[in-house]
Structure 1
Amino acid sequence: MSQEEAARARGRVGGRPTVAAEEIIRAARDLLPDPGRSITSIAKLLGVSPGTLYNHIPDLRDAGQAIEHARRIDTAALPTSERQARYWIDVARAFDQWGKPDRCYRGLLAAEHAAPQEVRRGSVRTMAAGLMRHDRALPGVRAFAQRVGALA
């Protein structure tokens, strides 16, 4: 008899217990519409990792759903230019996951316009490098990739 079978025989079921209680997930859902809060800041406030929220709130993993949520946010209401840039980077990431390179590129350009220092992040470099496959269809993407350090 395996350890798993023995545990089942003793009435034990399941694996590792979940970190996120239903109250935490409910609180996270309540905080999500606030444009001044990021997934990371919500997770930190609730004492869980961002990955925990992504694992327990399926809408956060769906790129199309993310774009729908993003459309409801007034970027002018975001408190700082850095937060505005992060918003545009998140929008670009969703379009990248959705397979829309032109919209991804526009989001990255908006982030660069809002706060140029924010597009020097690894995630932006990765997206910019991926956009290089579309360099003929996306005028200026090569120069953008150069600016963010995606080209060695």
Structure 2
Amino acid sequence: MTNKITLDNQICFQITRAHQLFNKFYQEPLSKFNLTYVQYITLLSLWEKDGVTVNYLSQKLGLSNGTLTPLLKRLEKAGWITRTRDKKDERRVLIKLTEHGAKQEEPITSTVQGCLNSLDYDDETFNNTMNTILDVQNRLEKSEEAKENS
């Protein structure tokens, strides 16, 4: 790559800026449910696969256990999830949606979909954007693996 390094042509800066804007973008619709963005993506993961360990969620979301544990405690206190010790292995904590948490999937995802629709993506542009973002993630993961293996 031969581009001069400037702030505006740094992928990392543009992704960080997009992340900040997405947090703000989701703030209003999620506030109706008293959720933060990170709580929302945690619930999304549980709606896809319920009854998982903290370690599973940590890997799926890319969050450390130290970040995830207080977040899960807040979700439990608010009635979204339960946290219980695995009877087969007491070291493992299982995370399961409550009835309230399961019932809120449709209203929350409908609200979020309405917001996403306001971005006016057609299917092709959306898919191309997702593929580009996934490509960046894959390149970063390969770079990390190469560092670890050297």
TM-score (norm 1): 0.30
Task: Tell me: higher relative CO, structure 1 or 2? Use CA pairs within 8 A at least 6 residues apart.
Answer: 2
Which one has a larger percent strand, Structure 1 or Structure 2? Answer: 2
Question: Which structure is larger by alpha-carbon Rg, 1 or 2?
Answer: 1
Query: When the two structures are superposed, what TM-score results if normalisation uses the length of structure 2?
Result: 0.30
